[in-house]
Amino acid sequence: MLKIILYPFSFLYGVAVFFRNRFYDLGILSSHDFDIPVISVGNITVGGTGKTTHIEYLADLLKEQFEVAVLSRGYKRKSRGFKWVEAETTVSEAGDEPAQIKRKFPDITVAVCENRLTGLRRLFSAENRKIPDVVLLDDAFQHRRIKPGVNILLIDYNRPLWKDMLLPAGRLREGSGQVRRAGIIIFSKCPENKVTPIQRRLNSIEIDLKPYQQLYFTTYEYDKIKHVFSGKELSEDFYEAGTYSVLIITGIANPKLMYDYINNYAGETDYLSFPDHHNFSERDIELILKKFGETDIKQKIIITTEKDAVRLMDMPDLPEIFKEVLYYLPVRVKFLNEKEKMFDIKILKYVGENKSNRKLYKKEV
């Protein structure tokens, strides 16, 4: 019933988005090309496709050979304008995802700016001591003022575009026809060992895969659970005995994969789910501790996501009992069907062939 009520608003939204994209396609609104390597990672749906983990995969792939920079808008940060992100920069200043990336990769450059064109120019200005060989644009598929050299589009395998609607009735930021702008399409969060050749073929037909596009499928691979504040790995007993009671707390769009993974090992699980990018309050911590205290099992812990852990670490005056039992589940991207090497070669080749232009670009700016 609600979707029916919202449909007229989705129609009006769709008209506005159509003309915006059409104006860019016709050159009425201008897109800026850059000679230096720029890789965009984005989506068409609102949240929950795994942009941060794929940005981290790219950063890890490129950082040994190239000077890498990540530029994000810094969603839900309290600051404005351009800002360099340092290891000590708080979530409120930078946003949770840029803060997480910088703490995981302290040697790469991370910056936030709601105007990506301004942000790119600042990255290549004299104030930056480490001029990047490549810039990774986070969540920039709709930011058409910049024309990236490689445009990567993520689609949640469990939430196909062809079964969704435009905002506000659905979760689509723009029509599924805009998939054509991507050079690389990745179906993310796939169930491992369940994506058959027939299913891959059906997905390629549904998105109307073009000859110039490459299609990949990825899933999540989890590392050993770690303590949020000490970084120590959780005892191996957790993975063998099944005697732990776990309270899972999440502030992400779709935590199902995480739930399924922990359920494989925990003897008892309970859940508290908060909205995506949720800023935890003292009241939330009280609620979590109350829920945590409801079980009498001796071996009990709280497990959260990497992104939530970053936000929780920045909270002042956390109760010691909460800090003692708080762990997080590290996650990384894994390519299915042995396509990781193909993807890596394409990205490394693109950056390697274009990185020399960065000095010329700096002079022009």
pLDDT category, 49, cuts 50, 70, 90? very high
- The DSSP string of 226-237 is EETTT-PBPPTH
User: What mean pLDDT is predicted for residues 254-273?
Assistant: 93
Per-residue pLDDT, 362: 46
Same domain, 145 and 187: yes
Same domain, 258 and 291: yes
Per-residue pLDDT, 359: 54
Q: What percent of the chain has pLDDT over 70?
A: 97
Same domain, 356 and 282: no
- pTM here? 0.94
Res. 44: pLDDT tops 90:
yes
Q: How far is CA 143 from the centre of its chain?
A: 16
Same domain, 355 and 233: no
Same domain, 207 and 236: no
Res. 361: pLDDT tops 60:
no
pLDDT in tens, 60-109: 999 999 999 999 999 989 999 999 999 999 999 999 999 999 999 999 99
Q: Is the peptide bond before 132 cis (omega within 30 degrees of 0)?
A: no
- Both tokens of 292, joined, read 């945590």
121 sits in which H/E element: helix 116-123
CA distance 290 to 84: 38
Structural domains of the chain, count: 2
Same domain, 151 and 10: yes
Same domain, 60 and 159: yes
Per-residue pLDDT, 364: 42
Same domain, 152 and 275: no
Res. 163: pLDDT tops 90:
no
- Both tokens of 35, joined, read 């000679």
Per-residue pLDDT, 194: 85
CA distance 230 to 219: 28
Chain mean pLDDT for the chain = 93
Res. 363: pLDDT tops 50:
no
| 8-state DSSP, 357 | G
| 8-state DSSP, 180 | G
Write the single-letter amino acid at 74. G
Res. 365: pLDDT tops 60:
no
Same domain, 101 and 11: yes
The residues that bridge with 270 in the sheet, in sequence order, are: 247
Res. 1: pLDDT tops 80:
no
Per-residue pLDDT, 126: 86
CA distance 53 to 322: 26
* Helix pair 96-104, 51-62: axis angle to 10 deg: 30
CATH number at residue 266: 3.40.50
Phi, psi of 303 (to 5 degrees): -120, 135
- Both tokens of 286, joined, read 């009280």
Res. 273: pLDDT tops 80:
yes
pLDDT in tens, 211-242: 999 999 999 999 999 999 999 999 999 998 78
Same domain, 200 and 165: yes
Residue span of the structural domain in which 135 resides: 2-220+334-364
pLDDT in tens, 3-21: 788 888 999 999 999 999 9
CATH number at residue 131: 3.40.50.300
Write the single-letter amino acid at 235. S
Same domain, 48 and 158: yes
User: What mean pLDDT is predicted for residues 326-349?
Assistant: 96
CA distance 149 to 275: 33
- Both tokens of 209, joined, read 């895969």
> 142 and 166 in contact (C-beta within 8 Å)?
no
CA distance 226 to 207: 38
Same domain, 287 and 181: no
CA distance 281 to 286: 9
